[in-house]
């Protein structure tokens, strides 16, 4: 006996994601989902962003890792609110975890929530968390062939941060190649070349955050 | 390996849909898009593992990959978009309008009732 079902497999995640999105819009919070490989510098970028934005906008961070509270503690040291999600082995965050994490935040007068997803350039891109923008980080130490090898993360992002540009010349990392590959997948992608360590290029990223936090419309 | 979570969701949906428990699922048909894609081998492995101990044990999993429709803005050629080679097959330009990607869908199951 054949039974037609026609049901979305990730319907539960989609329901949570759409509820999250409604919550963010209703409360004027711009939510960013940040995706990258482990070690690309996401947390350092957020530490620098926290310091630079301190007197301008109110940001909170949701950290996703398999284990430990390390990253949330690093963010808290900058004075921001941070909630740590430990996935206990899962390779990506799901929207329900974000719903629960947001409940732990004081969202009064909050302008931006940044979700630092589990370090993984593959699986997180399949799970909508209800974010209003997606930022992918690629660091020069990972090699300049990653856009072509992992197209999904780049095809679905709104912003690409090329981090650790201070190391590019030591690593034969061709920034122009990455930009070309990324734009081929996603011609509207905004690309910022930065070094969270030396602060090079970070002002443009800060300007972008300020702009989206103020306008607060989906990208 | 997000296929594991997809497999869990499939089994969960099936268990909620089947009319009776006295039978078994022999075939499961799912479909996915190009951006919402699944890896066949990983998906089959995850499905078999999660199906163990349920009425889906041993069921055949069929995965339909639905093409992503695109149209070239330069020459108006309609074609199936290739995420790994995103350009028009006719004029090689990459200014392309992409349609909506197919979602991950549990399409149908084949259920065999116990006769005794």
Q: Each residue's pLDDT tens digit in chain A (219 positions)? A: 898 999 999 999 999 999 999 999 999 999 999 999 999 999 999 999 999 999 999 999 999 999 999 999 999 999 999 999 999 988 999 999 999 999 999 999 999 999 999 999 999 998 999 999 999 999 999 999 999 888 889 999 999 999 999 999 999 999 999 999 999 888 899 999 999 999 999 999 999 999 999 887 666
**Residue A193 φ/ψ, nearest 5 degrees:** -95, 120
**Residue A19 φ/ψ, nearest 5 degrees:** -65, -40
The runs of H, that is alpha helices, within chain B are 3-17, 40-51
User: Which chain A residues have any C-beta within 8 angstroms of a chain B C-beta?
Assistant: 1-12, 90-92, 94, 122-123, 126-127, 148, 151-152, 155-156, 184-185, 187
Residue B99 CA to residue A90 CA, distance in Å, equals 31
- Looking at residue B116, its pLDDT comes to 63
For chain B, which residues score pLDDT lower than 50? Answer: none
Residue (of A41, A87, A90) closest to A62 by Cα position? A87
Q: Which residues pair with B62 in a beta bridge?
A: B29
Residue (of A218, A208, A159) closest to A56 by Cα position? A208
Nearest CA in chain B to A120: B1
Nearest to A126 among B18, B36, B95 (CB): B36
- Residues belonging to chain B: 116
ipTM of the assembly?
A: 0.82
- Looking at residue B96, its pLDDT comes to 86
What's CA B71's distance to the chain center, in Å?
Answer: 23
- Looking at residue A219, its pLDDT comes to 64
Is the whole-model pTM more than 0.80?
A: yes
End-to-end Cα, chain A, rounded Å: 46
> Cβ separation of B2 and A4 shorter than 8 Å?
no
Neighbours of B39 (CB within 10 A): 15
Residue B67 CA to residue B57 CA, distance in Å, equals 30
- Looking at residue B1, its pLDDT comes to 54
Q: Which residues pair with A3 in a beta bridge?
A: B109
Nearest to B86 among A90, A122, A184 (CB): A184
């Amino acid at each position: 006996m054949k039974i037609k079902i026609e049901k979305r497999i990730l319907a539960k995640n989609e329901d949570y994601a759409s509820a999250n999105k409604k919550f963010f819009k209703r409360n004027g919070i711009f939510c960013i989902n940040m995706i990258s490989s482990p070690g690309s510098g996401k947390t350092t970028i957020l530490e620098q962003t926290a310091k630079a934005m301190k007197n301008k906008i109110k940001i909170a961070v949701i950290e996703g890792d398999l284990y430990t509270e390390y990253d949330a503690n690093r963010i808290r040291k900058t004075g921001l609110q941070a909630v740590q999600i430990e996935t206990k082995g899962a390779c990506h965050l799901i929207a329900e975890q974000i719903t629960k994490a947001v409940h732990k935040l004081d969202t009064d007068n909050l302008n931006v929530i940044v979700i630092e997803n589990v370090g993984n350039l593959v699986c997180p891109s399949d799970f909508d968390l209800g974010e209003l923008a997606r930022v992918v980080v690629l660091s020069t130490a990972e090699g300049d062939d990653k856009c072509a090898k992992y197209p999904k993360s780049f095809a679905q992002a709104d912003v690409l941060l090329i981090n650790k540009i201070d190391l590019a010349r030591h690593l034969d990392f061709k920034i122009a190649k990455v930009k070309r590959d990324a734009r081929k997948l996603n011609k509207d992608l905004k690309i910022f070349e930065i070094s969270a360590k030396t602060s090079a290029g970070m002002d443009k990223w800060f300007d972008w955050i300020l702009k989206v936090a103020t306008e607060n419309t989906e990208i | 390996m997000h296929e594991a979570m997809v497999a869990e969701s499939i089994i969960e949906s099936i268990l909620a849909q089947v009319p009776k428990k006295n039978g078994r699922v022999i075939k499961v048909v799912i479909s996915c898009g190009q951006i919402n894609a699944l890896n066949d081998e990983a998906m089959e492995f995850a499905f078999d593992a999660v199906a163990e101990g349920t009425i889906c044990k041993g069921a055949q999993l069929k995965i339909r990959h639905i093409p992503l429709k695109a149209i070239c803005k330069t020459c108006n050629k309609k074609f199936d978009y290739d995420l790994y080679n995103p350009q028009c097959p006719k004029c090689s330009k990459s200014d392309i309008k992409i349609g909506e990607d197919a979602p991950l869908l549990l399409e149908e199951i084949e259920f065999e009732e116990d006769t005794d």
